[in-house]
Structure 1
């Protein structure tokens, strides 16, 4: 008789090893490729990007890649520790044996999820601290103090608990009480929560971490308002966010959903770009709405999460799913929290290999948004804005092509500007 538990253990192990090898191979390629081109600015950028800036971007990219390799190795060891080496099983058994087990089935399950989250968060802290206060500091990007970092940690933990615990509790209750189609009800709850979050984030959650003030540059406000009217776009307001208190990186984004949409500019962006360039960056973001990229992403999220919940609904009833990952299911109690945690641990291993497909769609959307921006603003402003952002954010001009296919949601500078240049020339008077 076929031992499904052993088969799943072997499959899990094979995918884990293959994934680690692939990640290390891709990152090694990226490091070698960037280092090989470190001392020469690509010809297309020689007139606009100074060699020291190019070298800084190369060094920053390599430093982040090396840290990423350490995180991959640590994450792999941690995953093995939680699964096949018995970490999650031991934690579950310890909680079941404690007094919490006397308070019904939901409380120990919530305790398991909370304990797992706290332990995982604590184990990730060294990498977060190093990235913020050593790596980002080294390259002049970090503006956070330890006090602000701690305040963010406390706030994000509290927000996560206030928002996450009720949702998780409801999903666990549905898993235990809604019958064989619980996963369909849980999916509906999860989607409703995500849509609600899109509405609440700009006005309730984001202000807990950053200050937002109305854009007070009247000339720029007039330009931006005219652009949005020309594009048929309405927003609740134009805001400037104090991103500089945490990082020197610059950005602009739309947030919210429906009538709650807002346009948010980082203060660092407004310092780095002139009004025409700000117009072009905003037009690019409007292009995403014009091409319905946001709606497409939401629909894709709906579809993928539906498949995910359906798969979880099936796996949670299979004993080999638990035992194949080193966990003994509870014989006299619920296993819903265990199933949820194991699913969240395992799915990224398999989804990694289809990530190039999603990255390709994302890059395609960026090209379409660029084309729309050029049709609504001066394409040369978009070119100069992107060059400034690539330079100020220390984005390498010479990434490895295969690494790009797996990891880049935005096109690299050479490919992106290479597409933009003919469009700009075709629209020139």
Structure 2
């Protein structure tokens, strides 16, 4: 057995075992605290809503565990089981151009993975989400969404991968610098185009009507020095009962978006506070910081791939007999998460830090008590557990746990 095969199996086993253990800790912790509403929420959240959130979390956790096991099995079948090797050999023998053959092999593997992941998505949407009253999507809408996503991947993702493969084949030893620059430039372009070109393919965006809410929001934007291309209501209710708000886009193509479900559940001051939190991310330059961090991590990844691409043991250790740039790219994308899993707490720590900073910004530009009441409503309406396992949340939560977040906001309330 190739030495790297052993290294890969150890990394995969360790990362999966820890992830499964954390999920079990989380499920046990939620189940243990299911029978009483946490002290901080006793006056605002009913026991029935708290138990619904616990049960919803437990069902998603069980499905997540099954999905994780199937994901590991699929990864082993694709790599050591020889499916990737077969795909590249088949297309190399079928298509004369190495670039087209490599692209076709990548597309084949991605298509297989997408189709095998569909049952989980179907169960999540039409069993779990339906059971807890969140699913609003029809089977026709679900199929349409899946097909549209695949079309977008083919129309946008495949040309990008083809360009990166061409760079890998043509530029020389520093190809990874050029590939990195292309990928980052593409990501920025898509972020800029997303609000007006991509998002409307999935949802309808209606400009917010004139009235007290729009006046309040425009006043908040003026106070915060934020300019956008408009305030829009998105028809999120056609797929889900979950609510949210966000701003999207870059540069002069930024939009503020409220889910219609959010508009229907919060009052004007609560909506103002939620938006103030989102603007806090902008004013605290969190978006820029995350873009820079992502660019650095992507550069490091490409540099590592630039070294691995010439290592025969890398291919052989993952079940591929004939080295190729396309195979190296695919293998790296599939197995890298097994080696980077333990970086997650670091990333999650900074994400939670940014959420605290955005909450503090919102408290200075809206009413902290209104942000608290809005968040409590969202926790309840979205069936978000109020009692996550601390260690699990340290790995997986991009937002602070509810009780910690509310306590921080309460400290920001100014005396009347």
Matched, 1:326 2:319: yes
Which residue in the other structure is 1:117 paired with? 110
Which residue in the other structure is 1:26 paired with? 22
Matches within 5 A, 1:151-300: 151-300=144-293
Task: Measure, in 2, the Cα distance between the counterparts of 1:126 and 1:24.
Answer: 21
Matched, 1:368 2:357: yes
Secondary structure, in 3 states, of the residue corresponding to 2:173? helix
Which residue in the other structure is 1:139 paired with? 132
Matched, 1:37 2:33: yes
Matches within 5 A, 1:343-358: 343-358=332-347
What are the Cα deviations for residues 6-26 of structure 1, in whole angstroms up to 9, with x where unaligned? 221111110111111101110
Residue of structure 2 aligned with 1:416, choices 402, 405, 409: 405
**Cα deviation, residue 97, structure 1:** 2.4
**Cα deviation, residue 217, structure 1:** 4.5
Number of residue pairs matched by the alignment: 416
Matched, 1:404 2:393: yes
Which residue in the other structure is 2:327 paired with? 338
Matched, 1:78 2:71: no
Matched, 1:428 2:415: yes
Task: Measure, in 2, the Cα distance between the counterparts of 1:217 and 1:378.
Answer: 23
Which residue in the other structure is 2:58 paired with? 62
Matches within 5 A, 1:380-399: 380-399=369-388
Unaligned residue ranges in structure 2 (runs of 5+): none
Secondary structure, in 3 states, of the residue corresponding to 2:18? helix
What are the Cα deviations for residues 358-399 of structure 1, in whole angstroms up to 9, with x where unaligned? 000000000010000000011110010000000011000111
Task: Measure, in 2, the Cα distance between the counterparts of 1:53 and 1:317.
Answer: 56
Task: Measure, in 2, the Cα distance between the counterparts of 1:328 and 1:242.
Answer: 49
Task: Measure, in 2, the Cα distance between the counterparts of 1:263 and 1:407.
Answer: 27
Secondary structure, in 3 states, of the residue corresponding to 1:189? helix
Q: Is the 8 A contact 2:92 2:98 kept in 1?
A: no
Unaligned residue ranges in structure 1 (runs of 5+): none
Task: Measure, in 2, the Cα distance between the counterparts of 1:395 and 1:9.
Answer: 40
The CA RMSD over aligned residues, in Å, is 0.9
Moved more, 57-66 or 5-14: 5-14
**Cα deviation, residue 420, structure 1:** 1.0
Task: Measure, in 1, the Cα distance between the counterparts of 2:121 and 2:367.
Answer: 40
Matched, 1:87 2:54: no
**Cα deviation, residue 423, structure 1:** 1.1
**Cα deviation, residue 428, structure 1:** 2.0
Q: Is the 8 A contact 2:369 2:409 kept in 1?
A: no
Task: Measure, in 2, the Cα distance between the counterparts of 1:105 and 1:159.
Answer: 24
Which residue in the other structure is 2:12 paired with? 16
Task: Measure, in 1, the Cα distance between the counterparts of 2:46 and 2:261.
Answer: 21
Give the alignment's TM-score, normalised by structure 2.
Answer: 0.99
Task: Measure, in 2, the Cα distance between the counterparts of 1:217 and 1:73.
Answer: 51
What are the Cα deviations for residues 319-365 of structure 1, in whole angstroms up to 9, with x where unaligned? 111001111124xxxx1110011000111111111100000000000
Task: Measure, in 1, the Cα distance between the counterparts of 2:256 and 2:395.
Answer: 30
